[in-house]
């Protein structure tokens, strides 16, 4: 259950930590339905599965499986880091109305596009999210740049 | 090799046909590098793998594996159908400069956003792409609507 934004971000942070422990990029995400139930959890799998598309948010959506349009339209997506253009587009595709973001200090994605298309965007400015992400970026700048489509 | 836009779309159409033969949503895509080599091929896997995120373009990127930023920035993405918001976002993430689209009659995705962000968008208005997609939509309207995040 993730009845509050704090508990939703905590669940996303657990995924990020799991990714970090696996040697991966520590970004986590969960998709939560209207009743506060977690439908899907995921973390970035670039390194673990050599995947250029399994960002945390995509992984959470994938792990939630096929859902009806109505489910997405009453869900909240939690993510430890501001969503990139691809994950922003996935949120728009499924018309997820609310995105709660752990932090946007280490990376600011396409938040303005989300807002322009009517998505509620909540920034938690979470210290733990910031610290873990910052640590990874310092340790593995090349992998991080690859993940956001930037040259090494 | 896919040295012309016609041969690129032909390769994407082969993927779409493969998807249709598998009982899936017939959308195909290929990512082609600066030398005309196909880096990755893919088709929509919603039905086959119960996947809400493996649209054709995402599958092609995934099957291309991890690539350097420079590779994407000199690539062309071919897709049989106008890309949805998620696939548009993936194109923007990796700064793919050119997208060649088989048709946008059965569905028009986020082409305007691509153009606004400087991506070259070429519409082939391909009759075979249109016919196969139209056939699937008539046969399976519910799966199609699910794929674009719309109610059944």
pLDDT in tens, B20-63: 999 999 999 999 999 999 999 999 999 999 999 999 999 999 99
pLDDT(A12) > 80:
yes
Long-range residue pairs from A116-124, CB within 8 A, at least 24 positions apart, any chain? A117/A92, A119/A91, A119/A92, A122/A5, A122/A98, A123/A82, A124/A5, A124/A6, A124/A9, A124/A100
Does the annotation count A103 as an active-site position? no
Q: Which residues pair with B48 in a beta bridge?
A: none
CA distance B135 to B25: 10
Mean pLDDT, chain A, whole residue set: 97
CA distance B150 to B152: 6
- Are the Cβ atoms of B110 and A89 closer than 8 angstroms? yes
Q: Which of B57, B128, B142, B150 is catalytic?
A: B57
pLDDT(A2) > 70:
no
Q: Which of A57, A103, A128, A139 is catalytic?
A: A57
Chain B: give the shortest CA distance to residue A16, in Å: 20
Q: Which residues pair with B123 in a beta bridge?
A: B101
Chain A: give the shortest CA distance to residue B45, in Å: 11
pLDDT(A151) > 80:
yes
pLDDT number for residue A37: 97
* ipTM confidence: 0.97
Interface test mutation site (partner B, options A62, A64, A85, max chain B beta carbons within 10 A): A85
Mean pLDDT, chain B, whole residue set: 97
Q: At what angle do helices B56-64 and B5-21 cross, to 10 degrees?
A: 110
pLDDT(A1) > 60:
no
Which among A50, A67, A145 is the nearest to B52, CB-wise? Answer: A67
pLDDT number for residue A152: 86
pLDDT in tens, B113-128: 999 999 999 999 999 9
Residues of chain B positioned with their CB less than 8 A from the CB of A51: 62, 66
Average pLDDT over residues A22-28: 98
Closest listed residue to residue B96, CA positions, set B118, B76, B123? B76
B2: confidence class by pLDDT, cuts 50, 70, 90: low
SS3 (DSSP) at B41? strand
Chain B: give the shortest CA distance to residue A134, in Å: 21
């Amino acid at each position: 259950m993730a009845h509050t934004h704090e508990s939703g971000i905590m669940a996303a942070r657990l995924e990020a930590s799991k990714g970090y422990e696996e040697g991966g990029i520590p970004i986590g995400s969960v998709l939560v339905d209207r009743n506060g139930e977690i439908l899907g959890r995921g973390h970035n799998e670039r390194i673990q599965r050599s995947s250029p598309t399994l960002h945390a948010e995509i992984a959470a959506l994938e792990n939630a499986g096929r859902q009806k349009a109505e489910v997405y339209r009453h869900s909240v997506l939690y993510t430890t880091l501001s969503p990139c253009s691809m994950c922003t587009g996935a949120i728009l595709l499924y018309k997820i109305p609310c995105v709660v973001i752990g932090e946007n200090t280490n990376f600011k994605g396409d938040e303005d596009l989300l807002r322009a298309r009517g998505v509620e965007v909540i920034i938690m400015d979470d210290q733990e999210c910031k610290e873990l992400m910052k640590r990874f970026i310092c340790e593995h700048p090349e992998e991080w740049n690859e993940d956001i489509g930037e040259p090494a």
